[in-house]
Structure 1
Amino acid sequence: MKNTRSAQITEVKVNDPYLAPRIRRCLETTIPKSVQHCRTDGRIDAFKLQWKEGMPNKPHIFWDSDVAKVLEGMAYAFQLTRNPELEKELEELAGLIVSAQREDGYLNTHFTVVEPEKRWKCLQGAHELYCAGHLIEAAVAHFRATGKRNFLDCMCRYADYIATVFGRGKGQRRGYPGHEEIELALCKLAEATGKKKYLDLAKYFVDERGQSPNYFLKENPQCTSRQLENHQALKPVREERNAVGHAVRAVYLYSGMADVAQAAGDKELLRACEAVFDSISEKRMFLTGGIGSDRSGESFENDYNLPDHNAYAESCASIGLVFFASRMFNITGDGKYMDVLERALYNGIPSGISLDGYHYFYKNLLRVDRNTHWLFQKTRLEWYDCSCCPTNFCRFLPQIGTFLWSANDEEVKLNIPAASVYEAAGRKITVRGSYPYGTNIEVEFGTDAEFTFSVRIPLNGGAAFRLNGTNLSLSPRKGYVSLRRKWKKGDRLDFTLDMPVIVLRAHSSVTFNAGQLALMRGPLVYALENLENIRNLSQLLIPAEQSFKLAEAKELPPGTLAIKGTAYEEILSENSLYTQAVPGFKKTTFTAIPYALWQNRGESEMTVWVREYFG
């Protein structure tokens, strides 16, 4: 199968009722407010290199990455809007970053003005290469948006300098980043410049990781095996078969591994990517597409250790999972990767940002109640000192359209049937409908061209197809149905999705969900808030065998569908902590809303998993 590539930002316009408002709000609110925060707390001014001991706003080791992600988002926003005021602000910020580069090519605010003597001295925890990676990604985005090379050339000089410091040559450090990111960034730089040396450097960072003697043990002989695993450095990555360690670091690393595997035709590395992805999707991922079970290490845990009330499920981790899944799909063409991508895109990621576009969850729990640990916030906050998640939304949301479509010279793939327009390489295709709520999808072809058009059948459902009014019998392969023909302007492919409410139960080894069920419809995971259900959600039980009803949700965006049905409230005759009394059950009703939209109508308790009623 020939590889595909994700659509470019300028090739897709998203028009649907679920994703498009998020993109618009990001351009209008998320990015401007994030720029404002970065100015207020000194993150942007840090690039002036004027900080002195005793002054406020001491540059932190990861501040550069936050500014870089915001700038990357600004570049994508400019591609979508061509706003001249945004372009001016973008150029000023890029120019400021370029001005901070040292004569040898080095560029890092903290280790230039705060701890210059510690340059490259603490790779495991200092985020130097991580910040470099985000700056490189921002530079590539700036170049693609504006065509200007000043920032790109600056980052090429930085990457060239890094290549002199790290490697297996005489006098070089055989190190690698504590927080991975630069691997995928260097692959982007190689693609943007056509220079293989950047791919070679990315491959070095991938392959050197976890080798013996271990570089992190050289830095810190007291480093434990658990700490090495948290940094994905306990063993060489080609030997890894399970997703381990800090979840964000992991999926950034795996994305870089996939990039290297694709660019180098490295089948061994691709097999490692396939194995760790299966480890995530089959045993270490929450129903919502959240990843990272352990709050102390922000990390993957043992198989099936998925605690709803204690989930870390960082927003950045789900964003990274989408990056990884997208790469694996474009390499293999297997729809299972797009199934996971869609799950995170519609659930685990949008839950991290409010509908107003400037309040955030850092962690995305699947259950929040009066017993939720104080370390987990129950409401979204406007900003964080560690603001990796808010700034990640700046760059992720404008890219959403790129995940809906993939293509190569012979084929166009509609990965997610959200209303959108795709136009590239002389092919124009318009998708209409109200997915993920509506089931009727209309695809209109706007040009005469011969190619294969493929449509993914969303998880948990089927579809019936009609071409220009004639019924079609199409069999899916790897989750996609395909039709090759000479398409004519005005051709219409209509399909109706089968999207019933489905009841899900967890694997028996997920002890936290024993005896419970969850509800999905299409790509959406649903959750119950106590705003419109009984106050104590742990007393609510739902029978699986019933006819669920759909209704417009209250106080949520128009068109949002809630699930309603029969439930039972558990009643105990005694109020003792422990009792021999047999509970009774009172018939009632329940309302569930899309999980991603919870806590947009005021503070509430929430749960995805509900006790199942067997009476």
Structure 2
Amino acid sequence: MVQRQIYITGAIGSQGAGEAFSSDYDLPNDTAYAESCASIGLMMFARRMLEMELDGRYADVMERALYNTVLGSIAFDGRHYFYVNPLEVHPKTLRSNGIYNHVSPVRRRWFGCACCPPNIARLFTSIGHYIYTPSTDTLYVNLYVGNRVAISVDGHALRLLISGSYPWRDEVEIAVESAPQIAHTLALRLPEWCSAPQASVNGEPVNCEPRKGYLHIRRTWRQGDRVKLSLPMQVRRVYGHPQLRNLAGKVAIQRGPLIYCLEEADNGTELHNVWLNADSRFSLIEGTDLFSGKILLQAGGARLQHTHSEEAALYQYDRVPGQLEPQRLTFIPWFSWANRGEGEMRIWISER
């Protein structure tokens, strides 16, 4: 599944018929079903795989689903939901082409089959079971969601506080609020998207080899101990497998665990006529108003400008019908799309 059937957003189930998988590498962007419940189910599956085999690969999948499809399935107002989570939307076409009957350009208040809203609530209220996986003498930290936890160690409480602004900032701090006087291991997941993680305990660097995606720190913990984990979040360009025919010549943008997208509200219509420059550098923008506390991205690109004429030929010989003009592109976290009304959106864009 992870090698051939999962979207970059952590969504699964590419077709509306049966909400099912299709053939290998068949991951269309605009007709994707990608049900919210399916990504929640994927997180449940990954969690249980972790309980059987403590390997960071499962937590990586869990994180991808959580911070993209699951988080994006609910509006900022907490009262509207997506059942289906496409990676590309052209609202005008949705209204006139039956193959998009399952796709909505905006979240809805409720559904006739309302499985997704309560499933989303269940996932968020049980998130602690996904953050941690305890074993006999090790506490595995899978997700860096801010929280306070108490874990029983040899009949005594190990109390931890995780803080930071993940996934916006790359610094995570784990403070020990109380601990029994016996050695215990904290295993910190090192996300697959991070190429240069660093950790320290009370200011002293941790120098040990990760095992199966986790950094194991064993010591007799004491109240006041502080673990700092640095997970540098470079902006990454992501390219699809050559068999993903819908992604040929296209690129997606990721920072930390978050997938980014273009939206009409920032970049205008006809997003299919927008290119990202291959050599452009990204600027990090502090969001305001609706995006307060969030990080947006900007980069140089271009738009194909053309004359909107009903008399223009549908196909033209030997020349591109228009010319490219520079445009500054704004990328928002994909989970936040459609919170400003109806409009075009796409994750995968052309690169030149």
Distance in 2 separating the partners of 1:410 and 1:558 = 41
Matched residue, 1:55: none
Residues 1:572 and 1:579: Cα distance change in structure 2 (over 3 Å):
farther
Match among 197, 211, 217 for residue 463 of structure 1: 197
Shift of 1:453: 0.6
SS of structure 2 residue aligned to 1:412: strand
Q: Is the 8 A contact 1:405 1:422 kept in 2?
A: no
Secondary structure of the residue aligned to 1:281 is coil
Deviation (angstroms), 1:571: 2.7
- Structure 1, residues 443-489: CA drift from partner, whole Å, max 9, x if none? 11122332011100122113111211112223211111001111111
Candidates 220, 240, 244, aligned match of 1:510: 244
Is 1:364 the counterpart of 2:103? The answer is: no
- Residue 577 of structure 1 corresponds to 314
3-state SS of paired residue (1:282): coil
Alpha-carbon distance, 1:442 to partner? 1.4
Check conservation: 1:455, 1:482, Cα contact below 8 A.
yes
1: CA distance between counterparts of 2:272 and 2:289?
A: 24
1:388 Cα deviation from its structure 2 partner? 1.2
Alignment partner of 1:533 is 2:270: no
**3-state SS of 1:445 partner:** strand
- 1:283, 1:303 within 8 Å by CA — same for their partners in 2? yes
Q: TM-score, normalization: structure 1?
A: 0.53
**CA deviation digits over 1:21-73, x for unaligned, max 9?**
xxxxxxxxxxxxxxxxxxxxxxxxxxxxxxxxxxxxxxxxxxxxxxxxxxxxx
- Counterpart pick for 1:383 among 107, 110, 134: 110
Which residue does 2:184 correspond to in 1?
451
Structure (1 or 2) with the larger CA radius of gyration: 1
Cα distance in 1 for partners of 2:288, 2:265 equals 11
Which whole-Å deviations, capped at 9, do the CAs of 1:179-219 have from their partners, x for residues lacking one?
xxxxxxxxxxxxxxxxxxxxxxxxxxxxxxxxxxxxxxxxx
Of 594, 607, 615, 2:333 maps to: 594
After TM superposition, give the deviation of residue 429 of structure 1 in Å. 1.1
Aligned residues: 334
Using the alignment, how far apart are the partners of 1:549 and 1:576 within structure 2? 39
What does residue 159 of structure 2 align with?
428
* Higher fraction of strand: 2
For the residue of structure 2 that corresponds to 1:350, the secondary structure is: helix
Q: Which has the higher contact order (CA 8 A, sep 6+)?
A: 2
Richer in helix (by share): 1
Instruction: After superposition, give the CA deviation of every residue in 1:248-292 in whole Å (9 maximum; x if it has no partner).
Output: xxxxxxxxxxxxxxxxxxxxxxxxxxxxxxxx1110011101111
Q: For residues 296 and 579 of structure 1, what CA distance do their matches in structure 2 show?
A: 37
Deviation at 1:434, TM superposition (A): 0.2
Q: Deviations over 1:400-427 (max 9, x none)?
A: 2221111123011111122211212110
| Pairwise CA distance, 1:391 | 2.2
Contact 2:16 / 2:102 at 8 angstroms: preserved in 1?
Answer: no
Supply the distance in 2 between the matched residues of 1:441 and 1:513 (Cα, whole angstroms).
34
Q: CA deviation at 1:557?
A: 4.3
CA distance in structure 1 between the aligned counterparts of 2:306 and 2:65, rounded to whole angstroms: 38
Provide the C-alpha distance between the structure 2 equivalents of 1:600 and 1:455, rounded to a whole number of angstroms: 34
What is aligned with 1:547? 281
Give the Cα–Cα distance (whole angstroms) in 2 for the partners of residues 475 and 547 of structure 1: 32
Which one of the candidate residues 342, 345, 351 is aligned to 1:606? 345
Once the two structures are TM-superposed, the CA of residue 351 in structure 1 deviates from its matched residue by 1.5
What's the secondary structure of 2:330's corresponding residue? strand
Deviations 1:367-390 (A, max 9, x none): 001323243211111111111112
Q: Secondary structure at the match of 1:283?
A: coil
Distance in structure 1 (CA, Å) of the matches to 2:289 and 2:345: 16
Does residue 408 of structure 1 match 2:141? Answer: no
SS of residue paired to 1:310? coil
Could you give the per-residue CA deviations for residues 228-252 of structure 1, whole angstroms, max 9, x where no partner exists?
Answer: xxxxxxxxxxxxxxxxxxxxxxxxx
Which residue of 2 is the match for residue 190 of structure 1? Answer: none
- For 1:315 and 1:448, the matched residues in 2 are separated by 39
Q: What is the TM-score normalised by the length of structure 2? A: 0.91
Distance 2:263 2:101 in 1: 19
In the aligned structure 1, how far is the partner of 2:256 from the partner of 2:331? Answer: 14
Residue 422 of structure 1 contacts residue 429 of structure 1 at CA under 8 Å; is this kept in 2? yes
Asked if the contact 1:416/1:458 (under 8 Å) is kept, the reply is no
Partners of 1:556 and 1:288 in 2: CA distance: 22
Q: Could you tell me which residue of structure 1 aligns to residue 72 of structure 2?
A: 351
| 1:293–1:306 Cα contact (<8 Å) kept | yes
TM-superposed CA distance for 1:545, in Å, is 2.6
Q: Counterpart of 2:18 in 1: which secondary structure? A: coil
Residue pair 1:534, 1:540 contacting (<8 A) in 2 also: no
**Cα offset for 1:312?**
0.3
Partner of 1:283: 4
The letter for the 2-side match of 1:513 is L
SS of 1:297 mapped into structure 2: helix
8 Å Cα contact 2:33-2:102 kept in structure 1:
no
Query: Which amino acid in the other structure matches residue 331 of structure 2?
Result: A
Q: Is 1:399 matched with 2:126?
A: yes
1:23-102 alignment to 2 at 5 Å? Answer: none
Task: Name the counterpart of 2:146.
Answer: 419
Deviation at 1:339, TM superposition (A): 0.5
Distance change in 2, residues 1:448/1:374 (3 Å)? closer
Report how far residue 324 of structure 1 moved.
Answer: 0.2
Residue 353 of structure 1: how far off its partner (Å): 1.2
What letter corresponds to residue 208 of structure 2 in structure 1? L
- Between the aligned partners of 2:6 and 2:202, the Cα distance in structure 1 is 41
Could you tell me how far apart the structure 2 residues matched to 1:374 and 1:525 are? 25
C-alpha distance in structure 2 between counterparts of 1:418 and 1:386, whole Å: 30
